[in-house]
Structure 1
């Protein structure tokens, strides 16, 4: 056991552990988003449509925040972007707790979503900067474990805080965010890679458009989107299916809790299981397991059967999460890591938004069987997609590792003599 623990956690840099600790602390206090709908309709007396609008605006702010945060992480640096987002997020969280009018709550929630998500690409880029390629699956598994442990405990804590006073939700959430910000200020050093120097008469090209034009990465993003849409059905159409079978909301809560328990108990064993395997094949197998889990929901009518489906797709999720993060990291040139991470986060936001829409339409017009068997079909296509595009990703990763993300340079007109010092790299 001691040897396994050492292999799971040993050898990672100190800065990674500061990032990991910040993740755990922040997730332990992530109360507000869990209870926001209940707070708005219960404590503030808003209608369901008003609550939906507020939560939707949080998502819109988050989508903008991931994109802007990715650009700023590459331009300003990882540390300043994180500090602005964390200190600003703590302030807005507290302000939201004091807000009473609908316009105030709308404005605060939108800005809160923007700042909360703006920190994510900078955090992820910093983790790539400090953790070597060989240790990334391990590092991402540890971070994913911390996220799920913190979320599971925060759900319990949020319920207790809400019973005492709803304002405690905002105060504790703001407090944990503030602690994370102070840790970032004191313990984290800037890790943004320096742009390689180029000769006079030459320039380095790149930007957000460069990421969008990266066919290898964008193909991966599109393939991953299908898997995200399927995974997010557990938050939208799965509870509808279970309640239609006569099961209570409490039963749904108990069934879905199996997901968090499995991840907390088993995620640290995953790196040893998948460490020496081709990432594309791991992702393909993970997609099939996720698809099998959701596909079996078509035949589930009892709580134990629904719990079994959760066990199956959670195993796929445990394989997929660190492999996905490591793949995105490997495809990201050092000078554009923030932008790549921002676009990857935006893909998750898009999948989370599309999931209830597409799932709900399928469930309403074609029925439960079509929805859940369709989820298996989508995951099968995702699996094939990973196998087909895997070799191209492997070639890209090998090129980036060999070239050390050296820029492609182009001659400038004679009148221009100096390149921009912070210009990013162009990736074909």
Structure 2
């Protein structure tokens, strides 16, 4: 057991563990959207279509915030971006606690999503900065475990708090965001890479490789490139598109309470159903790196997509709470395989001096699913036969799996080129012109 713990968590830097703790606290407090998922139709009186629109606006706000946050993480710094995100999230959560009007709830959900998305690239970039290539898989896996441990607590709390005063839910969320901000303020240093300019060569473009900054460093050279350079990177953007497809399937789980309500089941039982996701990840995620070590990453991602599609597609025939819990088991297994491989590949495909931008665009691929899945899913639930949505999601899982297998070789060649210092410049040029 000691050997396993050392292989799983040993030797990771102190800053990582502060971020890990912040993740656990932050995600435990992230029951606001779960609360809205459960209560928008039953308590707020929204239609399935409008509830889907609110969730979609939250996702759209996250996607936009991710792009802005990626630029800020590179230009303004990781730490400042994280502080702004968490303080603004706390203020928005409090505002949400005071409103019931359809229009205002929808607008504030989009604003809440924006601030949520803005902090994601800075957080991910900080993780990549402090872990380095050798510890990246373990660190990303541990952080994903913390996300879902917190989410499990949040799912349970969402059910427990469903009968507490409305405002209490939002005040508790705001408190969690402020605790995260305090951890960043007191314990997380700035880690943004600094380009050390070689005297006499700067004018000719001769700059040394980027090095992590653990304290304020004067004379920081400006970050080169733009968000458009990332968007023109076809290898990276195809990977982002495949991630978007996968997460559209996963984020459709937010529509399960509506499907349950339509089938005559208690929507409040959704907390019990979705808690299976967090419990599985908490119980087994730490064993995943050993399970997939040395395996072809593209094949692992393809298997992940198939499991996610199969599990979500099975919702079409799951008519009881236990059956719905079983579907969660299947798609969660796919999600667990995906998470550590995905995180390391995004890092491997990112130019160090533009890491915030790459993380921002990658995060947009995840968060845009929060926009697409609820809106189109809500429309299908309202206007198509009951099984339609879930069968479409199963087909999407097959398409993503095929895409991962076909694009894998080119992606791995790009990752190897960027990891080899001797070919970094060539890989940079390839990225700029791809």
Task: Please report the TM-score for the alignment, with normalisation by the length of structure 2.
Answer: 0.83
Pairing 1:351–2:354 present: no
The residue that corresponds to 1:402 in the other structure is 420
Structure 1: unaligned runs, 5 residues or longer: 411-424
The residue that corresponds to 2:147 in the other structure is 147
Q: What's the secondary structure of 1:131's corresponding residue? A: helix
Q: What's the secondary structure of 1:327's corresponding residue? A: helix
Deviation for aligned residue 1:25: 1.0
Query: In the aligned structure 2, how far is the partner of 1:402 from the partner of 1:280?
Result: 20
Deviation for aligned residue 1:216: 0.4
Deviation for aligned residue 1:371: 4.3
Pairing 1:265–2:283 present: yes
Contact 1:90–1:177 (CA under 8 A) maintained in structure 2: yes
1:389-408 Cα deviation digits (max 9, x unpaired): 11111111111111388557
Contact 2:302–2:404 (CA under 8 A) maintained in structure 1: yes
Deviation for aligned residue 1:50: 7.9
Moved more, 274-283 or 33-42: 33-42
The residue that corresponds to 2:15 in the other structure is 15
Query: In the aligned structure 1, how far is the partner of 2:180 from the partner of 2:164?
Result: 25
Contact 2:273–2:321 (CA under 8 A) maintained in structure 1: yes
Moved more, 305-314 or 73-82: 305-314
Map of 1:213-252 to 2, 5 A cutoff? 213-236=232-255, 238-239=256-257, 242=260, 246-252=264-270
Q: What's the secondary structure of 1:195's corresponding residue? A: strand
Pairing 1:178–2:173 present: no
The residue that corresponds to 1:419 in the other structure is none
Query: In the aligned structure 1, how far is the partner of 2:318 from the partner of 2:149?
Result: 28
Q: Decide whether aligned partners of structure 1 residues 273 and 217 sit closer, same or farther in structure 2, where only a CA change above 3 A counts.
A: same
Q: Decide whether aligned partners of structure 1 residues 427 and 335 sit closer, same or farther in structure 2, where only a CA change above 3 A counts.
A: farther
Map of 1:295-314 to 2, 5 A cutoff? 295-314=313-332
The residue that corresponds to 1:132 in the other structure is 132
CA RMSD, 1 decimal: 3.3
Deviation for aligned residue 1:269: 1.1
Q: Decide whether aligned partners of structure 1 residues 391 and 186 sit closer, same or farther in structure 2, where only a CA change above 3 A counts.
A: same
Pairing 1:199–2:199 present: no
Pairing 1:90–2:86 present: no
Deviation for aligned residue 1:149: 1.4
Query: In the aligned structure 2, how far is the partner of 1:122 from the partner of 1:50?
Result: 32
Contact 2:12–2:135 (CA under 8 A) maintained in structure 1: yes
The residue that corresponds to 1:418 in the other structure is none
Alignment partner of 1:382 out of 400, 408, 414: 400
Deviation for aligned residue 1:326: 1.5
Task: Please report the TM-score for the alignment, with normalisation by the length of structure 1.
Answer: 0.84
Structure 2: unaligned runs, 5 residues or longer: 207-222
Contact 1:20–1:143 (CA under 8 A) maintained in structure 2: yes
Moved more, 84-93 or 239-248: 239-248
Contact 1:29–1:154 (CA under 8 A) maintained in structure 2: yes
Q: Decide whether aligned partners of structure 1 residues 301 and 335 sit closer, same or farther in structure 2, where only a CA change above 3 A counts.
A: same
The residue that corresponds to 2:62 in the other structure is 62
The residue that corresponds to 1:292 in the other structure is 310
Alignment partner of 1:391 out of 409, 412, 424: 409
Query: In the aligned structure 1, how far is the partner of 2:238 from the partner of 2:54?
Result: 33
Contact 2:292–2:300 (CA under 8 A) maintained in structure 1: yes
Query: In the aligned structure 1, how far is the partner of 2:387 from the partner of 2:397?
Result: 16
Map of 1:272-283 to 2, 5 A cutoff? 272-283=290-301
Query: In the aligned structure 1, how far is the partner of 2:59 from the partner of 2:391?
Result: 29
Q: What's the secondary structure of 1:277's corresponding residue? A: coil
Contact 1:334–1:405 (CA under 8 A) maintained in structure 2: no
Q: Decide whether aligned partners of structure 1 residues 351 and 103 sit closer, same or farther in structure 2, where only a CA change above 3 A counts.
A: closer
Deviation for aligned residue 1:316: 0.9
Deviation for aligned residue 1:89: 2.6
The residue that corresponds to 1:189 in the other structure is 189
Moved more, 123-132 or 289-298: 289-298
Query: In the aligned structure 2, how far is the partner of 1:295 from the partner of 1:398?
Result: 36
Map of 1:328-339 to 2, 5 A cutoff? 328-339=346-357
Q: What's the secondary structure of 1:132's corresponding residue? A: helix
Q: Decide whether aligned partners of structure 1 residues 14 and 68 sit closer, same or farther in structure 2, where only a CA change above 3 A counts.
A: same
Q: Decide whether aligned partners of structure 1 residues 189 and 318 sit closer, same or farther in structure 2, where only a CA change above 3 A counts.
A: same
Q: Decide whether aligned partners of structure 1 residues 334 and 4 sit closer, same or farther in structure 2, where only a CA change above 3 A counts.
A: same
The residue that corresponds to 1:117 in the other structure is 117
The residue that corresponds to 1:254 in the other structure is 272
Query: In the aligned structure 1, how far is the partner of 2:231 from the partner of 2:413?
Result: 19
Query: Number of aligned pairs?
Result: 412
Query: In the aligned structure 2, how far is the partner of 1:309 from the partner of 1:19?
Result: 32
Deviation for aligned residue 1:129: 0.7
Moved more, 302-311 or 238-247: 238-247
